[in-house]
Structure 1
Amino acid sequence: MDQNPTLESSEKNVHFAGKYFEEIEEISESDNYFIPVLKELGKEVDLKNSKVLDVGCGTGLFIKHILDVGCTQCFGVDGHTDFADLAIKRGYKEVKQVEDLNVDKIPFHDDTFDVIVCKDVFEHLLNPTHTVSEIKRVLKPGGVFLLHVPNHFPLSARVKFLFTNDIDTFSFFKNESRWTFPHIRFYEFNDTLKVLEKFNFSLVKDLSYHFGSIPFISRFGFMKGVVKSITNMYPNQFAAGFTLLVRKGGL
């Protein structure tokens, strides 16, 4: 028996292996659930004339709406340059590699970007505060930062956890064991907001209601107003993800 098992080369990134990008690419662009959030972002900033950075861009699938509205200055940063060609084909101007977002600098100058988006990245990081500090550094004063992280434990998921003892309450990674589960941090709404405030970010909009998780109610479109109100009041209990649009101070 092999006493020193090794990972295949494509799986050496222990927090987000290349196979997950391949699975994401199977999602059709019409099923991109992040588009409503980006439309909200577009109400706050002129995306067409903004310089945008996508931290943890992957293949660029989820942020494509920014390109569709005419943004020609969209850049990406990721540890997987194997997939950069797909982001470039979608319209990204450039994708730069960062070996480890936990410790490395984002390879851009201070005060470079008008908008930074970081979707589903912080749950993979051991040292997310370093990444927040780097995002702040490369974001212009007055620029906006859109952050999205999953919430594994709204009330419906807590009930499921009681019966399954499975932290993957939304079945993000059905084929992974606890030894290989890619999410290594689990977030709470108020604590997330407090950390951002410590880095001199102020809340512009809480967009977590786009991911409302209220049993029976969420499935009915005509109940959107109710879902929004309840999720805004109790995000920890009724949001499947925390989506915060914040602005960097210093104007």
Structure 2
Amino acid sequence: MMGRTVVKTGLFSRMGDLDTGGMEKNYKGLAIHALNGLHEFVGDKVKELFFDSANLLDLAAGSGALSLRLQDMGFKITAYDYEENNFRLKQSIKFNQVDLNNDFSKISDCLYDGVIAVEIIEHLENPRHLIREIYDSLVPGGKVLITTPNIDNPVSLAFYVRFGWFQWFSDENYNNEGHITPVSQHWMNKFLLEAGFVDVDFVSYGDPFRVLVGWPKMKYFARLLSFLTSIDKSKQGEIMVVSARKPN
């Protein structure tokens, strides 16, 4: 008999009770649950990828911080999230409560110019399923933008050699933050191509070495791995950022 889908909801359930206005990371009082500066970086990438007023779907929208940022930039936004109580913008942004482990591409009566999936694929059991559903949610020529912890960064590789788990994928991350599925750039590329996407492009965001302050031996080892790996420096940041296009 098959087991039930693994969904780690503890942290997500608590997000709705956070005092968002007092948080250091917020956008207009809406909590940002991502690495400092990532939402700004994503906003810049979205501006590069999409035409003004494009119709975008924000997956795992959380409080709505990124949804509001993108709406303020002139995009038309629909938001999905597992925890309905966390989303604070139901009066101004269309919202659906959705378990992204399940089929979601037919929920809307329209297709989207773009799908934004920031820091969610690592929380799901089946990344291939998510990417297929994203593909089916897009108009021909539509694009996807995905971010996830970059297990190919040199610090993450050093952690794997030393501890047997990647950065952001320790038992603590698994149990408290719900990071259950690490995805490398190699496999992300395969998943996107298998789903039918083209023009796959990788960049990265954030300094992975920030966590090694006061740990000189590990920092030296990670620097050595950075030198030895064939992965380009632009793709060695803490967060993987990948975009792709559905063919016309």
**Shared fold, TM over 0.5:** yes
- Which contiguous aligned blocks of 4+ residues in structure 1 show a shift greater than 6 angstroms? none
Q: Report the aligned-residue RMSD.
A: 3.4
Could you tell me how far apart the structure 2 residues matched to 1:37 and 1:178 are?
A: 25
**What is the aligned partner in structure 2 of residue 219 from structure 1?**
none
1:68-97 superposed Cα distances (whole Å, 9 cap, x missing partner): 2122x200111111122x1336x42x1101
Paired residues for 1:197-208 under 5 Å: 197-203=193-199, 205-208=201-204
Structure 2: 5+ residue stretches without partners: 1-5, 29-35, 212-225
**What is the aligned partner in structure 1 of residue 108 from structure 2?**
108
The residue matched to 1:191 in structure 2 has which SS?
A: helix
Q: How far off is 1:64 after superposition?
A: 3.2
Of residues 71, 83, 95, the one that matches 1:67 is 71
**What is the aligned partner in structure 2 of residue 9 from structure 1?**
none
Could you tell me how far apart the structure 2 residues matched to 1:133 and 1:74 are?
A: 21
Q: TM-score, normalised by structure 2?
A: 0.72
Of residues 83, 89, 103, the one that matches 1:87 is 89
**Is the 2:58–2:78 Cα contact (8 Å) retained in structure 1?**
yes
1:40-86 superposed Cα distances (whole Å, 9 cap, x missing partner): 22123224x21110011111213433112122x200111111122x1
| 2:14 partner letter | K
Could you tell me how far apart the structure 2 residues matched to 1:18 and 1:198 are?
A: 33
Q: How many residues align?
A: 215
Structure 1: 5+ residue stretches without partners: 1-11, 217-226
1:168-199 superposed Cα distances (whole Å, 9 cap, x missing partner): 735x999x475555111111112101210111
Could you tell me how far apart the structure 1 residues matched to 2:153 and 2:131 are?
A: 24
Q: Does 1:136 align with 2:130?
A: no
Of residues 220, 230, 243, the one that matches 1:245 is 243
The residue matched to 1:37 in structure 2 has which SS?
A: helix
Could you tell me how far apart the structure 1 residues matched to 2:148 and 2:135 are?
A: 17
Indicate the percent of aligned positions where both proteins have the same amino acid: 19
Q: How far off is 1:156 after superposition?
A: 2.1
| 70 and 148 in structure 1: CA distance in 2 versus 1, 3 angstrom threshold | same
Q: TM-score, normalised by structure 1?
A: 0.71
Of residues 211, 214, 224, the one that matches 2:206 is 211
